[in-house]
Chains A and B, each alone.
Chain A
Amino acid sequence: MAAITDLSDLINRQTGGNSGTPENIFFHKVPRVSGVAATAPISGRGCSLWTYDGMPAGGAVPTSAVIPDKTTQGAIPFTAAGGGRDKHLIGASITPLTAGVYLLYDRLFHIGGLSGTSTAAQQIQDDPASPALTRNTGGAGNIAFYEIYTIIGTTSTTLTMTYTNQAGTGSRTSTINIGATGFREVSRMQRIPLAAGDSGIQAIEQIQLTATTGTLGNFGITIAQPLAWIPVGSAGTMGWRDYTTGLPGIPVIDPNACLSLMFIPSAATAPELFGSLATIEK
């Protein structure tokens, strides 16, 4: 990967020089899913915007284990870098109706159709993984979520995730609570912590609930590679990040990335938002 040399290199490429191919990507989301008002998010807890209507249109609820990519319905469209160059994310912004912290991520893997009542092991990618990740395959920095597609039950229980970590070690396990208020509602996207010492995920073999939540519902597991956290302090303002001057440096967007959004709202209001991503190639 070729790094951007200096400010002059950046300016030159942003104005189209040296095959910089600048692309400013714009998107909007409305607080509706398939034309119907979206379920209000839970203040302070993760909410998926994967299925939200807008431009791009909302993604579909996965019915099997899938590796989504830039062509998958719901992905924010962009032009893949050409000529052996990388696509660098130099800036990102969101102006929303609901304040919070927004996450732009590459949706590496997802599965739906999991049961909120079954206490048997529920296969995710199995071992060996199928389908295996096709992007960020080493797993470093990858994080996992459970994502609620149809409301599950009111009984809190424990979800145990069995996975292969970034070092290729399988049968690692970690747990998170699931079910009951705040952990059952449609669009909830709850991060699943990793076992001590782990810093990423190559694959998830299975998940298992300790007890039923009381309602079958429909939930899934998503593996994500975070690209940009965009905090928005209050509704109606613009949260922005300039990666040429701020940490964590300038992220590279995989040519097949399934660019998606989730957020942690500071109010229980489904967001309407407008956003942009600024990119150049080198």
Chain B
Amino acid sequence: MALTDFNEYVDKLQENRVADFQLSTSIARTLRLNASWQSFNPAPAIPTTSVALDKNSAQSIGPIPDISTGRLTFLGGRFNTSTYGAGCMLLVDLLNVSGGLNATLTTAQTTNLPTAALTRYTNGEGVMAGIVIYTSVGGTATTVTISYTNSAGVSGRTSTATSFGGGGYREAAILIPIPLQAGDTGVESIESVTVTATTATAGNFGVCMFKPLSMISLESATGAMSLDAVSTGCIIGSLAEIDPDACLTISVFSAISTSLTGALILTEA
């Protein structure tokens, strides 16, 4: 089913079916993608084994409204930053997470890998991979690669080396997106992680896989910032379809150190 017209859209907004979230702390690092779900209140545990996530996971915004045969659709939301300033909120379906990797080892690490099998977007098309840091790694800048299976089912793919360790790439709760090998358009699973040189501190980090759903501009907001898919702008990917079992969560990229609370408005269309 789809929304028929503007009137039905307004009717759906008025149902006000919301899913709430609250960050307990300011984002870990400005000018970087943050694994903001690690700051949810209550906070998710640091993962050990790779865990396939869903709407009941601690990393998920909730409650996700139950639907019958329709399409779970993102209509908008209400957002509050704690500090005056601007940023971006990436709305994602977080598919799996794992932890327990060591930032001083330079061998291919397979601890808690391969990643749990995808339960949504199962062929991996459009699925992105990232590094999540749970305990700060070292201050020595190096690079990291992953070995993965791409969305065509080809294993043994190697990502292009990207920055890891050192300022901006070491702090707890940041998310480092992984550039894929040429020609690849998604990730089905991750088999190992290799740090090129020691960062000088083991820390604790892992990998995650996520499917981006929408980008939301937080524009100099303090107090309630109300956005909807049609009338306010600021949402690219508005009216996005959300899997009914999605681990719906956020990654904040911001110019300012801010906390964030809010609610997503969802509907069945």
Contact = CB atoms under 8 A, between A and B. Distances in A.
A73 B3 contact: no
A95 B2 contact: no
B160 A57 contact: yes
A274 interface: yes
A139 interface: no
A115 B29 CA distance: 43
A232 B230 CA distance: 22
A57 B215 contact: no
Given A26-B126, A236-B86, A14 B180 contact: no
A8 B32 CA distance: 37
Given A30-B177, A30-B179, A274-B90, A238 B3 contact: no
B234 interface: yes
B19 interface: no
Nearest to A98: B31
A34 B86 contact: no
Interface stretch (A48-56, A161-169, A178-186): A48-56
Contact of B88 (A17, A53, A54, A95): A95
Size category of the binding interface on chain A: 35 or more
A276 B182 contact: no
Interface in B190-218: 212-218
A15 B215 contact: no
Given A56-B185, A236-B255, A276 B2 contact: no
Interface string B139-181: 0000100000000000000001111000000000000011111
Contact of B71 (A16, A95, A234, A272): A16
Contacts of B230: 7, 11
A77 B9 CA distance: 30
Contacts of A93: 88, 215, 217, 236
Nearest to B234: A240
A22 interface: yes
A238 B215 contact: yes
Interface in A19-38: 20, 22, 24, 26, 28-32, 34-35
A57 B253 contact: no
Size bin of chain B's contact surface: 35 or more
B254 A26 contact: no
A57 B184 contact: yes
B59 to A, nearest CB: 19
B33 interface: yes
A193 B115 CA distance: 51
B128 A55 contact: yes
A30 B162 contact: yes
B100 interface: no
Which of A54, A57, A95 has its CB near the most chain B CB atoms (within 10 A)?
A95
Contact of B236 (A54, A236, A240): A240
A23 B12 CA distance: 22
A188 B32 CA distance: 25
Interface in A230-265: 234-238, 240, 242, 245
B241 A32 contact: no
A119 interface: no
B234 to A, nearest CB: 7
Contact of B2 (A17, A29, A32, A238): A17
B30 interface: yes
Given A91-B236, A274-B33, A276-B236, A28 B128 contact: yes
Contact of B254 (A15, A28, A73, A236): A236
A58 interface: yes
Interface string A44-84: 00000000011111101000000000000100010000000
A7 B86 contact: no
A24 B213 contact: yes
Nearest to B9: A11
A237 B5 contact: no
Contacts of B233: 240, 242, 245
B269 interface: yes
10 smallest beta-carbon distances between A and B, as pairs: A236-B255, A17-B2, A8-B5, A238-B88, A95-B88, A35-B161, A53-B179, A93-B236, A238-B217, A26-B212
13 contacts: A8-B6, A11-B9, A18-B2, A24-B237, A28-B177, A30-B179, A31-B163, A32-B161, A53-B160, A236-B30, A236-B86, A237-B219, A274-B215
Given A8-B4, A26-B128, 12 more contacts: A11-B3, A14-B239, A17-B2, A26-B126, A32-B160, A57-B182, A77-B185, A91-B237, A95-B253, A237-B86, A237-B87, A277-B236
Interface of A: 7-8, 11-18, 20, 22, 24, 26, 28-32, 34-35, 53-58, 60, 73, 77, 91-93, 95, 97, 234-238, 240, 242, 245, 272, 274-278
